[in-house]
Amino acid sequence: MSSLPGLIPLAALSLLAAAPATADDSNWTAVQWVGTQRDCSEKYMNVRWHISQTDRRITLQADSRSAHTGWRLSTRELNPDGSGRIEAPYHNNRTAWFEFTPGHGPRTIFFNYNYQACVWQLHPV
């Protein structure tokens, strides 16, 4: 295989492009369920969320009825086992929180928008 001095061979570049950025990169779909409280609105039950995770960021994007709902969260606040709580600013000076169960990839996420007692759960499907 030929290459110019100081350059990576073309075949090696194609292998790099096909490899994931890290072993922790993952994408999954989750469905929104009500938590332990029963005063949550049923119209938000079963909303699907598309979730992607890299070593630095978790992105959650709601599907259909809540298409404008999305979050980009930093993973710095998570424990090495993937568990932990991340707080993010929400409208009207409220803070939303997301609590992750242990794992790297598909796992249950609990969240609340801090304006009602309802705690939602995102379960991998």
Task: Please indicate, yes or no, if residue 17 is contained in any of the structural domains.
Answer: no
CA atoms lying within 13 Å on the CB side of residue 55: 5
Task: Please indicate, yes or no, if residue 14 is contained in any of the structural domains.
Answer: no
pLDDT digits (tens, 9 = 90+) for 68-83: 578 899 999 999 999 9
Ranking 9-13, 25-29, 44-48, 53-57 by mean pLDDT, the lowest is 9-13
Task: Please indicate, yes or no, if residue 59 is contained in any of the structural domains.
Answer: yes
CB under 8 Å to 108, separation ≥6 — which residues? Answer: 101, 121, 122, 123, 124
- Is the pLDDT higher at 67 or at 42? 42
Nearest of 44, 46, 17 to residue 30 by alpha carbon: 46
Q: In this structure, what CATH number is given to the domain that contains residue 37? A: 2.40.128
The span from the CA of 29 to the CA of 104, in Å, is 14
Task: Please indicate, yes or no, if residue 55 is contained in any of the structural domains.
Answer: yes
The span from the CA of 82 to the CA of 16, in Å, is 26
Task: Please indicate, yes or no, if residue 70 is contained in any of the structural domains.
Answer: yes
Give yes or no for residue 52 having a pLDDT over 70.
Answer: yes
Task: Please indicate, yes or no, if residue 104 is contained in any of the structural domains.
Answer: yes
pLDDT given at position 31: 86
Number of domains in the chain: 1
Task: Please indicate, yes or no, if residue 13 is contained in any of the structural domains.
Answer: no
The span from the CA of 22 to the CA of 49, in Å, is 23
Domain that holds residue 31: 23-124
Give yes or no for residue 122 having a pLDDT over 70.
Answer: yes
pLDDT digits (tens, 9 = 90+) for 83-116: 999 999 887 788 889 999 999 889 999 988 776 6
